[in-house]
Structure 1
Amino acid sequence: MNLLITGGTGFVGRAVVKQLVSRGNTFQIVSRDSKNHPIDSVVQLPEPGKLFTPATIAGTSCIINLAGESIAGSRWNSVVCQEIQNSRVKITSCIVDSILQNQKLGLPYPKVLINASAIGYYGSHPKQRFTESSGNGHGFLADVCRAWEEEALKAESLGVRVLRLRFGHVLGLDGGMLPKVALPFRFGVGGYLGDGQQWMSWIHRDDLVNLILQAVECEEWQGTYNACTPNAVTMQEFMEVLGRVLGSKSRTRIPAFLATILFGDMAQEVLLKSLKVYPKRLLQQGFTFHYPCLSDALTHIFKK
């Protein structure tokens, strides 16, 4: 199977590529800068408003779309928010339109689209447990995820098997939220934000990579899947477990108002949001998590 990967140089994409290399799979990575890339099989990301070349799409049997500007990369403003949306929605639209282009030309096209999304789709609720059948929530990220998924869904009408994977917090040492929240513990000032009772749904990056590659191979998989473990924890619990693993107690608490001052709108949309998400469909499909418990996941990440 020939794979095309957008976002292949990102936090999750790098791990997917590493696994593909170890398996001997044939793949190409889509990059904004295809000239200065350590891997030879790189495709240039089309300019805004343009499509992939028909030959690129014709030579691909599955697209793994992980593209998206980092949500926690910098303080939010109108420019950052626009890039968060465009880097997801417009690239997904480009992929679907490129598939349609090949159909009209009578050329081969991918039959599978694995499209990233996020549990931010559900908005926020202090107590509700969300499954894949739960409705779309409110807020900036909920709107982005809805538009993102709507673009991916258009490929279904073209005969493509589409999967929308709603990522929880992805845990790993070289990206995502974990390095940021672990740093204060190194100085003995680790702690939680707000009242600490907001729910956090998470997944070890290794489990997410296995999930993505299993989704490529399993033809019966289709539709929406929550990509998180069944064991959500509160932020206070998360920080206490992290402190134990790092040998440093969770000592501090940053009030919600101060978090908003420090981080702006991102605090309300990401750091203080409560999302207790359950991967009902993944469990029904028989997917096995290697790291279903937070303590085991964090121990593996920091001790390996």
Structure 2
Amino acid sequence: MNILIIGASGYLGRALTLKLHTKDNTLYLLGRDKNKTYEVFKRILSSFVPFPKILDYKDELPDADIVINLAGESIAAKILTKKRIKTLESSRLDVLAHIENKLKKYSCKSRILLQASALGIYEDNSSNIGNDELALICKTVEDKALSLNNIFSRIVALRLGIILGKESPFIQKINKIPPIKFIGKEKHIGWISIEDTVNAII
């Protein structure tokens, strides 16, 4: 199976690549820096399986069976100002526009898109879609992903909570992470283990 992982050098991307790096799959890893992506994986991948094909945004994208898009600026990296919220949204929309531009040349087939989203799309303690900034970012990104139905036969939004594990950035930076507040409203933080996340995607 041909699988394209975008944002592969992140925490979830690394774990997913390790699990999918088998003789039955051909992996393509897309990141902003080919050298950085290569350095991340050359130390951790088995030499008994062909090394993934490393791509950057100047390269053509493969006609993959599955595209797993995990790319986007980290929400927890900096204080959440209005300017930063715009950056978070545009970093995700720009990647989806790139996918659309690069894959539209291929004929339509049974191709799947798994698009990273977040539990922040919901109202706190509710299954209703929220209307604060984080929810609006998620909804905007999901709507853009769903609009790519001329390229993908199935599109899945991965509404994930904080992903926890021994090397989780959240665990490493927990004392530095700014409060998750949007216009004065507190958000509870849902979580999932890295193992369960990888297994759910697979």
TM-score bracket relative to the smaller structure:
0.7 to 0.9
Give the secondary-structure state (helix, strand or coil) at the position aligned to 1:152.
helix
Checking the alignment, whether the CA contact within 8 Å between 1:69 and 1:87 is kept in structure 2 is: yes
AA aligned to 1:156 is N
Identify the residue that residue 6 of structure 1 maps to in structure 2: 6
Where structure 1 has 5 or more consecutive residues not aligned to the other structure, the ranges are 47-51, 185-191, 214-304
Tell me if 1:90 matches 2:94: yes
List aligned pairs for 1:81-160, cutoff 5 A: 81-103=85-107, 111-122=111-122, 124-125=123-124, 128-130=125-127, 134=128, 136-160=129-153
In the alignment, the residues of structure 2 paired with residue 170 and residue 156 of structure 1 have an alpha-carbon distance, to the nearest angstrom, of 28
Shift of 1:9: 0.4
Of Structure 1 and Structure 2, the greater helix share is in 1
Q: Distance in 1 between matches of 2:56 and 2:180?
A: 40
Contact 1:8–1:14, Cα closer than 8 Å, also in 2: yes
User: Under a length normalisation based on structure 1, what TM-score does the superposition of the two structures give?
Assistant: 0.54
Instruction: Identify which of 192, 197, 201 aligns with 1:208.
Output: 197
SS in 2 for 1:200: coil
Deviating more after overlay: 148-157 vs 108-117 = 108-117
Q: Which residue of 2 aligns with 1:42?
A: 54
Aligned to 2:62: 57
| CA displacement at 1:91 relative to structure 2 | 0.6
Residue 159 of structure 2: which of 158, 166, 183 is its match?
A: 166
Residue 210 of structure 1, CA deviation: 0.7
1:72 to 69, 76, 82: 76
Change in Cα spacing, 1:73 to 1:19, as seen in structure 2 (3 Å) is: same
Task: Return the alpha-carbon distance in structure 2 between the equivalents of residues 109 and 99 of structure 1.
Answer: 11
* Cα distance between partner residues in 2 of 1:91 and 1:43: 14
**Would the aligned equivalents of 2:109 and 2:152 in 1 still touch at CA under 8 Å?**
no
Whole-angstrom CA distance in 1 between matches of 2:72 and 2:80: 15
Q: What is the TM-score of this pair, normalised by structure 2?
A: 0.78
Moved over 6 A (4+): none
Q: Would the aligned equivalents of 2:71 and 2:95 in 1 still touch at CA under 8 Å? A: yes
Q: 2:168 corresponds to which residue?
A: 175
- Contact 1:156-1:162 within 8 A present in 2 as well: yes
How many residue pairs get aligned? The number is 184
The Cα offsets for residues 208-241 of structure 1, whole Å up to 9 and x where unpaired, read as: 011111xxxxxxxxxxxxxxxxxxxxxxxxxxxx
Where 1:156 maps in the other structure, the secondary structure is: coil
State the AA in 2 paired with 1:137. Answer: G
Amino acid at match of 1:173: K
The amino acid that maps onto 1:146 is K
What SS is found at the alignment partner of 2:8?
Answer: coil
Report the residue type matching 2:196 in the other structure. D
For residue 68 of structure 1, what is the amino acid of its counterpart? G
DSSP 3-state at the match of 2:131: coil
- Distance of 2:201 and 2:8 partners within structure 1: 13
Matched residue of 2:62: which SS? Answer: helix
- Please give the residue correspondences for 1:165-244 in structure 2 after superposition, counting only pairs within 5 Å: 165-181=158-174, 199-213=188-202
RMSD of Structure 2 on Structure 1 (CA): 2.8
SS in 1 for 2:35: coil
SS in structure 1 opposite 2:9?
Answer: coil
1:32 aligned partner: 32
Could you tell me how far 1:180 is from its partner in structure 2? 2.8
Q: Which amino acid aligns with 2:53?
A: S
Counterpart Cα distance in 2 of 1:110 and 1:65: 17
